Amino acid sequence: TGESGSGKTTIARVISGMLPFEGGEMYIDGNPTSHYNAEEWEAYRRDQISFISQNYGILPGNTVLENVEAALRYYGANKADANSKALEILAKVELSGFETRKASKLSSGQKQRLSIARALAKPSRILVADEPTGNLDRANSDKIISLLALAAKDRLVILITHEFEEAEGD
């Protein structure tokens, strides 16, 4: 947690392997990353990290269903399995009934839930959520936090927020 400008997004991007760091050390599975090359960072991002950004990171020209299926297909699911699993994930994030809607036509809360659906579709060990509720009303914020708490049962969830109470949970 921290105020605007305190480096929350920077640390989220460093943890996610998107930005290099100049001081200290980050360990992955007990191994230092200071000497990682570009290929090792790419493998880390691809295999171990899901990232939920403030800007959603969705495919705006695709449908809601296509967005989640694309994430599943990228990680090896066949078409039928991707469709079935995508529908299951969309139900979890309360986007059933929106499968054929273009992502660009969703509300902010729906876009953020779609972003989470895409992150859940990726079989990563770590989910980094950078201010996932920053542009949402209280009701949608509560839904997002509940989804992240559910995801935390299966993987490490790192929540970056300016709202300490939100991060503290129940």
Question: pLDDT 10s per residue in the chain (170 long)?
Answer: 878 888 888 999 999 999 998 889 999 989 999 999 999 999 999 999 999 988 888 999 999 999 999 999 988 899 999 999 999 999 988 999 999 999 999 998 899 899 999 999 998 999 999 988 877 788 888 888 888 998 999 899 999 987 777 666 55
Q: Give this prediction's pTM.
A: 0.85
Q: Is 92 helix (H, G, I), strand (E, B) or coil?
A: helix
Give the residues across from 28 on adjacent strands. Answer: 31
Q: Is 116 helix (H, G, I), strand (E, B) or coil?
A: helix
For residue 135, the model assigns a pLDDT of 73
15, 74, 89, 86: which is closest to 45 by C-alpha? 15
Cβ(111)–Cβ(54) under 8 Å? no
